[in-house]
Structure 1
Amino acid sequence: MGVNDDVTPSGQVHETRGDMNKGGLLEIDATREITTAEHDLGFWAAVKQYPTAVFWAMFFCIAVIMAGFDAQLVTSFYALPAFQQRFGNQYNGEWEISAPWQTGLGMGNPIGQVLGALACGWPLEKLGRKLTLAICCVWSICFVFVQFFSTSIGMLCAGEILGGLAYGFYVVIAPTYASEICPLALRGVLTASVNLAFVIGQFIAQGCAAGLESRLDEWAYKAPFAIQWVWPVILLAGLPFAPESPYWLIRKNRKDDARKSLEKLSSSKHRPDIEGVLVMIEQTDLLEQELESTTTYFDCFKGANLARTEISIMVYLIQVIGGNPLIGYANFFFEQAGLNSADAFNMGVGNTALGFVGTCLSWPLMSYFGRRTIYNSGMVFMTILLFIIGFLDFGRSHSGAVWAQATLMDIWTFTYQMTVGPICFVIISEISSTRLRGRTIAITTAVQAGASIIFTVAMPYMLNSDQANWRGKAGFLFGAISLICLIWCWFRIPESKGRTFEELDILFERKVPARKFKDYDLLQEHDTAHLSS
């Protein structure tokens, strides 16, 4: 039993909170059969049942490729000779983008994400996932023009901020949609694909920058900007055919449309129990209506939702404060560590390629290990690596130490993209309640982007040779923060693997400790209660 639970002689579980007696609401009852079926459904069987759900979840992730591409592109330009000469200043005979303008340009994307994420709650619930994404695509097409035709670094900065508004929407829509259209067996892989989309965007941006590194004309940086027109056009062409989220349709009292959506998402040959799935969605929504009568941002911080919001915020925030800014500054970091421009760009491409492989490896890992186990294991290894990178900086006069730092950066990226990076999106998509998912992910995105702003300001001053010139010693700062975060992770991250959204609602409402989520058997408890009665 969880904390604050009372048991009647018949075995019926009750939890009293204020004047509300939830009784059977906190049990698996009406959805017991479909919940059991969800638990028993294997990964490949789920793929056979929901092949189009896999496709559309991946399709929506194209929007996140844009966000990853833009964020990586601008920071990689800091080490691009043509960009440095067009918008930079000379220092000790070398061209360099000044720290204040690095800060300004780097802040465009996260500032836009903060504003966009906080603004997306209303249209997501009012207009749905499809129409909201379509509007954002049109927005992106317009403001890529501003970036492409920028004649000054100030104009480019304005284009980054305005374009970043859409990126805030994209990062919220993709994991929300993926988590709502797929069965339990596919939820981890498809929500983790959001991280893969980020990595793909970063990889393409690094490849573009590396391929154009030797060019000294304006097309060295204009051509990569033009590529950003490709993604929204592809999305707009496919969105009219995409099924809407059945969870959103149920909340709008459109059950027939929800049924049609589930039929489109599933295979006609290996059709799942559509009516059973509809009942589970309805029961989850009814339970959450009882637990939260409204769906405002304030509700994310009330009752059991406070813990869910805290967990979502922290696992996403750790992406920034635990060392991720070093990935964004990979090329610049490699140059400052002592590598020439060509080697720095090659290492940067290798860095993002390792991230791609790492994210793909996270998929089979999730089949064998829980979210909590993977996330915490990654944090341990990443923390150790950051401290080693810091200590190696004391021997940077030796070329071997410089290459060791660069190699460890790649290993850190590989570990991050195999554990903390993708698992973060799985956790925030599973932990938040379905009725508040859009707003919860919006809050976490805004907080994460806010932290990105802080480090965007700080990183140039930490790494630039005319400023603090920390180089690899930045590993000490991120290592110390990562260690503190690891302690929080041990006590606060619950295990959500193998849990339906209804089960998670019940576990959080019962205040089950995070470390006990894995072994808390709601179905067995139900059987025991009925046998004792």
Structure 2
Amino acid sequence: MQSRSSSSDKNTHAQPETLEHAVGLAFQPNDNTLEIAAKEEKAVGTLQAIKVYRHAFLWCLFCGIGAILWGYDVQISSGLLSTPLFRHDFGYEYKGEDVIPARWQSAFNSVGSIGGMFGGVAVGWIADRIGRRASIAVASLISIIAIFIQFFCPPHQNALLLVGKLINGLSLGMYISSAAAYCAEISPVMLRGITTGSVNLWIVLGQFMASCVIQGLGSRDNRTAYRIPFAIQWIFPVILLVGLPFAPESPWYLARKGYVERARAVLTRLGIQDVDLHLRQIQETIVLEDHYARETTYWQCFKNNNRRRTVIALMVFVLQQIVGVIFVLGYSTYFFQLAGFATSESFKLGVGVTAIGVVGNLTALYSVNKFGRRPLFLLGMIGCTAVNFGIGFSSISDSKAARWAEAIFTLIFGLIYQGSIGPLGYVIFSEVSSAKLRSKTVGIGICVNSLCGMLANIIIPYLVNPDEANLKGKVGYIFGGLGLLGSIWTFFFIPETKNRTVDE
């Protein structure tokens, strides 16, 4: 890497005065740098942008690989609970069957979300000090240690396994936050929706991979049935650690720290044509944000205009949960069994649901630039709300046709959700934050995402299980009503960020 090349770059934490001096005419009315840079970025179409800025596009995809582990971990947790040898090694015998206690199941499914909450918040502080690349490297090292604990955990040492899950959750929260912030800062405006939305694509691919692994290994009669699924996770942090030394650092991070020449070199490497113009755009945007708020504390995320930004960034993940994603997709196998499919066939159909999710994500990566963020997210909310009511109405009857309807609604929900709300959540929460507070806003968003997921995983079993409320598909009424309220909130408060530069 290049060293700092000027005396103005020697201050590691470049102050606003230093940047204003470097920019010079940042606030003069006749300076139209930001406008010129914005026009240049918007003049390139999506396909042309992928070709011109292919290095930026590919590095964004690379740094999003860690998100695979988020989806993999969630799916593998529920899958292992259905694996006979895992239940034997970490459960107890009850009436001739190996059973894992309900309280331990809840802990096993939720402890990763707790780790993700802390990881999401912590990485905001870490990334602002050591950079986006280094924060992904730290997450990879933590993940390797956590996987080691899970892989070598002896039978019936449930507490140790939970420790491994908790530590791994910490790394997962860091992965998601770092990937989203990195993609938002590396990508030109025409690619930003695609690259930030690809974070959710990686998550769904991780879920699909986990479903396939459990389907292929879960019936084994030795401990490889659950240890190989744990070991597979090692692949991804190792890939990241090998590739990260060659990945470009965020030019926004470098410019804010005063590494101007290194930021210039990164912009050149990413294929930016007018490097001086875009470097000046970054610097002036930093000055503009410093003009309104010089601090970069978490508290700043909830002050003045940043309060609205933060609320929107948090609400996109709250909306994902109140529209019933865990209820519908998490219980897809259950609905298939109600439709009359054998257990083995239900699991195969569950794999099909995640495959449909992949298709939905790919369509979203096309439509996010064509139709925009706001209309796509709103239509997704309305569509998922309608599906929830459909599941609720279907549950009134016990007929075979009604059970089939619930199963079909599950497939439709997966396509709608993963084609809109799922990936758009990561796009909106990455774009709506200010550049200065992005890593912290994104971190808080991941924290809320983990918290909502954890609460949903705790509450929904009490609504669905036969020995509790036993509402079954009637839970669709609850999430349908919540989804309707969420759709109204979306209509009034979610802004359109399509084709908007950071300064805009």
Q: TM-score normalized by structure 1?
A: 0.85
1:374 matched to which residue of 2?
A: 376
CA positional deviation for 1:24: 5.6
CA positional deviation for 1:437: 0.4
2: CA distance between counterparts of 1:334 and 1:97? 23
Cα distance 1:321–1:156, how it changes in 2: closer, same or farther (>3 A)?
Answer: farther
2:208 matched to which residue of 1?
A: 203
- SS of the aligned residue for 1:395 comes to coil
CA deviations on 1:401-431 (whole Å, 9 max, x unpaired) are: 3232122112101100000011111101110
1:236 matched to which residue of 2?
A: 241
Aligned ranges 1:501-520 → 2 under 5 Å: 501-503=502-504
Cα distance 1:101–1:27, how it changes in 2: closer, same or farther (>3 A)?
Answer: farther
1:511 matched to which residue of 2?
A: none
Letter in 2 for 1:110: S
Aligned ranges 1:432-443 → 2 under 5 Å: 432-443=433-444
Which among 185, 190, 195 is matched to residue 180 of structure 1?
Answer: 185
Cα distance 1:293–1:497, how it changes in 2: closer, same or farther (>3 A)?
Answer: same
8 A contact 1:137–1:235 mirrored in 2: yes
What is the number of residues matched between the two proteins? 476
| 2:38 is equivalent to residue 46 of structure 1 | no
2:392 matched to which residue of 1?
A: 390
2: CA distance between counterparts of 1:340 and 1:28? 68
2: CA distance between counterparts of 1:24 and 1:492? 30
Aligned ranges 1:257-268 → 2 under 5 Å: 257-266=262-271
1: CA distance between counterparts of 2:488 and 2:39? 34
- SS of the aligned residue for 2:33 comes to coil
| 2:129 is equivalent to residue 126 of structure 1 | yes
8 A contact 1:333–1:471 mirrored in 2: no
Letter in 2 for 1:46: A
- SS of the aligned residue for 2:131 comes to helix
How much is the aligned-residue C-alpha RMSD, in angstroms?
2.1
CA deviations on 1:116-139 (whole Å, 9 max, x unpaired) are: 111112210100011111111111
Cα distance 1:321–1:147, how it changes in 2: closer, same or farther (>3 A)?
Answer: farther
8 A contact 1:129–1:177 mirrored in 2: yes
Cα distance 1:36–1:287, how it changes in 2: closer, same or farther (>3 A)?
Answer: same
Letter in 2 for 1:63: G
CA positional deviation for 1:214: 3.0
CA positional deviation for 1:167: 0.7
2:285 matched to which residue of 1?
A: 284
2:348 matched to which residue of 1?
A: 346
| 2:223 is equivalent to residue 218 of structure 1 | yes
Greater Cα shift, 315-324 or 493-502: 315-324
1: CA distance between counterparts of 2:333 and 2:386? 22
Letter in 2 for 1:118: V
2: CA distance between counterparts of 1:27 and 1:84? 70
Q: State, as a whole percentage, how many aligned pairs show the same letter.
A: 39
1:457 matched to which residue of 2?
A: 458
Cα distance 1:147–1:338, how it changes in 2: closer, same or farther (>3 A)?
Answer: farther
Letter in 2 for 1:116: G
Which among 35, 40, 46 is matched to residue 37 of structure 1?
Answer: 40
2: CA distance between counterparts of 1:493 and 1:109? 29
1:518 matched to which residue of 2?
A: none
Cα distance 1:281–1:299, how it changes in 2: closer, same or farther (>3 A)?
Answer: same
Q: Which runs of 5+ in 2 are unaligned?
A: 1-25
2:494 matched to which residue of 1?
A: 493
1: CA distance between counterparts of 2:215 and 2:470? 24
8 A contact 1:76–1:331 mirrored in 2: no
Letter in 2 for 1:379: M
Aligned ranges 1:295-374 → 2 under 5 Å: 295-326=296-327, 327-331=329-333, 334-335=336-337, 339-374=341-376
Q: Which runs of 5+ in 1 are unaligned?
A: 1-22, 504-533
Which among 83, 86, 91 is matched to residue 83 of structure 1?
Answer: 86
| 2:121 is equivalent to residue 112 of structure 1 | no
2:171 matched to which residue of 1?
A: 166
1: CA distance between counterparts of 2:199 and 2:141? 21
2:427 matched to which residue of 1?
A: 426
2: CA distance between counterparts of 1:145 and 1:308? 39
Greater Cα shift, 447-456 or 237-246: 447-456
Letter in 1 for 2:393: F
- SS of the aligned residue for 2:496 comes to coil
Letter in 1 for 2:176: V
- SS of the aligned residue for 1:79 comes to coil
1:13 matched to which residue of 2?
A: none
2: CA distance between counterparts of 1:112 and 1:228? 17
2: CA distance between counterparts of 1:469 and 1:91? 23
| 2:195 is equivalent to residue 194 of structure 1 | no
